[in-house]
Amino acid sequence: MRRAGVLLLGQRARLRWVHLILGGALFMPFWLVGTVVVAPFDDGRSAFGGDLGTQFAAYAVGLPLAAVVSLFPLTRPMSVAAARALCGVAADRFAEGPARGRSDRARTAGWFVLHLGAGALVSGATLAVPPFAASLLLLPFWAGLRASAAAEFWALDRTWVRWACLPAGLLMLLGLAAVAAATGAFLAGRAQRLLGPSPADRLLAAERRAAELAVRNRLARELHDSVGHALSAVTLQASAARRVLDSGSARDREFVREALAAIEETTRRTVGELDSVLGLLRRGDDEAELAGPGLGALDALVRGGGPRVALTVTGDLERVPEAVSREAYRIVQEGLTNAARYAGGARVTARLALHGEELEITMENPLTGGPPVARPDGGRGLLGMGERARLLGGTVQAGPAEDVWRLAVRLPVAGGPARKGGAR
């Protein structure tokens, strides 16, 4: 009994009933147009004053009109929103956006007509059956109602017929609930087939997910390079300052002052970059252009690396396009991060040279530690630099050369298709 009650009047059944009534309400304008069409064939009477056949004729005229209206682009998004909220079908089973192809439009039209047609019938029954069933339930107890309802019939004083109205009224209400639940379940079963994604919808969704993943990966690279470099630089400078202070040499105070200034500048710059990236994440704007520092901020980056970083620039870096400048800055930043991690405080040289339509970045540091490799705990220094270079059609070479570790990056600065290349 409890299971039957849930099936007939549970939350899901009630929501589906509301969905059907919504369809009936949407069908009303089409039915009214149908009454105007059938009125000349019924002695000029409208369906409101006509018999049941006239009303069903208006119903039959309204269904094709609903099919025509279903071809509008907003029909499928509105139908999906209503079905997702009220039909009890998983949200990922529905297509997104307007119907695009002929097949999608036909399926949408089929759903729209089915929803409105079934909803109109159930809505009509919902309006008509409960009052009649309530009258049956009251007839055994209300003599005045019996007299007004059917004086000739009740004059026979058939007591058993009078009391038979009680179960008849209850059965009518249960039958209405059963019809609404069955119709709602039928529509829910057809929702995925008629409103579900087509192969074209699935391809579009896959492309959208790929674009979103690319943006998230880019944000992850920005955070990795910015925060990773800041932490490495701050750790190196703080460690060097502590060693100098422990030595107690007064002549090294200037070095400590420089190290603390580098820490201050690095942290201030990194907080600004972090605010920029997190601002994009808060807005959720997947197509926003990620603004970040470019080659114009190299001097501040090198100062943050401390006195052991030497930078040499050849050519006018202002000619470098903004996108290339931004990625080149991140590559230099990641190179300094790797050097701080593996060079053991040795001198690091960075050279940037603009030759014609190509920007060349070279960084070297002594091989005092192991080579910078992709770590299993999430380090992606060389991989990240390779990804940035490939996006611009450039190349990355990294490895030992004589007694130094050398990073050599070539980035095209002119427009045109990307050239094949990658990290080696």
Q: Of 87-96, 107-116, 281-290, 379-388, give the range with the top mean pLDDT.
A: 107-116
pLDDT at position 374, please? 45
Q: How sure is the predictor about 140, in pLDDT bands with cuts at 50, 70 and 90?
A: confident
93: in domain: yes
How far, in Å, are 204, 228, 276, 280 from residue 286 at the CA level? 16, 23, 14, 8
Average pLDDT over residues 125-149: 79
Which of 75-79, 154-158, 212-216, 388-392 has the lowest average pLDDT?
A: 154-158
pLDDT tens string 23-81: 999 999 999 998 888 877 766 555 555 577 888 889 999 999 999 999 999 999 999 99
Q: Are residue 231 and residue 370 in the same domain, yes or no?
A: yes
Distance between CA atoms of residues 222 and 384, nearest Å: 10
Q: Are residue 262 and residue 145 in the same domain, yes or no?
A: no
- Return the H-helix or E-strand segment holding 180: helix 159-195
Q: Are residue 176 and residue 210 in the same domain, yes or no?
A: no
Q: How sure is the predictor about 260, in pLDDT bands with cuts at 50, 70 and 90?
A: confident
Q: Are residue 112 and residue 253 in the same domain, yes or no?
A: no
Average pLDDT over residues 248-255: 63
Q: Which residues fall within 8 angstroms of residue 12, CB to CB, at 6 or more apart? A: 88
- Per the structure, the count of domains in the chain is 2
Which of 20-29, 74-83, 151-160 has the lowest average pLDDT?
A: 151-160
385: in domain: yes
**pLDDT over 90 at 186, yes or no:** yes
Average pLDDT over residues 394-414: 86
Q: Are residue 263 and residue 299 in the same domain, yes or no?
A: yes
| Domain CATH for 375 | 3.30.565.10
**pLDDT over 50 at 165, yes or no:** yes
421: in domain: no
Q: What is the pTM of this model?
A: 0.53
Chosen domain end from 196, 220, 238: 196
Q: Which residues fall within 8 angstroms of residue 251, CB to CB, at 6 or more apart? A: none
Chosen domain end from 196, 219, 254: 196
Q: What proportion of the chain, given as a percentage, has pLDDT over 90?
A: 25
Q: Range of 310's domain? A: 205-412
The 395-401 sheet, strands edge to edge: 309-314, 348-355, 358-366, 404-412, 395-401
DSSP 346-378: --EEEEEEEETTEEEEEEEEE-SS------TTS
Distance between CA atoms of residues 308 and 129, nearest Å: 89
81: in domain: yes
State whether residue 196 is helix, strand or coil.
Answer: coil
pLDDT at position 19, please? 95
Chosen domain end from 127, 162, 196: 196
- Return the H-helix or E-strand segment holding 405: strand 404-412
Q: Which residues fall within 8 angstroms of residue 231, CB to CB, at 6 or more apart? A: none
Q: Is there a contact between 54 and 45 (Cβ–Cβ < 8 Å)?
A: yes
Q: Are residue 73 and residue 184 in the same domain, yes or no?
A: yes
Q: Are residue 278 and residue 318 in the same domain, yes or no?
A: yes
The pair of three-digit structure tokens given for residue 378, joined into one six-digit string: 């999430």
**pLDDT over 50 at 378, yes or no:** no
Distance between CA atoms of residues 12 and 18, nearest Å: 10
Average pLDDT over residues 242-270: 67
Q: Are residue 245 and residue 189 in the same domain, yes or no?
A: no
Nearest of 337, 412, 321, 320 to residue 375 by alpha carbon: 337
Q: Are residue 170 and residue 210 in the same domain, yes or no?
A: no
* CB neighbours of residue 52 within 10 Å: 8
313: in domain: yes
Which of 74-88, 222-236, 254-268 has the lowest average pLDDT?
A: 222-236
Q: Are residue 225 and residue 121 in the same domain, yes or no?
A: no
Average pLDDT over residues 260-287: 64
217: in domain: yes
pLDDT at position 67, please? 94
The alpha carbon dihedral of 226, 227, 231, 232 has a sign of negative
420: in domain: no
Q: Are residue 350 and residue 232 in the same domain, yes or no?
A: yes
Average pLDDT over residues 373-388: 62
pLDDT at position 98, please? 87
How many residues would you count in the chain?
Answer: 424
**pLDDT over 90 at 301, yes or no:** no
Nearest of 419, 404, 391, 375 to residue 330 by alpha carbon: 391
**pLDDT over 50 at 249, yes or no:** yes
417: in domain: no
Q: Give the distance from CA 143 to its chain's centroid.
A: 63
Which of 271-280, 319-328, 356-365, 389-398 has the lowest average pLDDT?
A: 271-280
Q: Are residue 122 and residue 154 in the same domain, yes or no?
A: yes
Q: Nearest 5°: CA angle at 85, between 83 and 89?
A: 60
Q: How sure is the predictor about 422, in pLDDT bands with cuts at 50, 70 and 90?
A: very low
pLDDT at position 132, please? 86
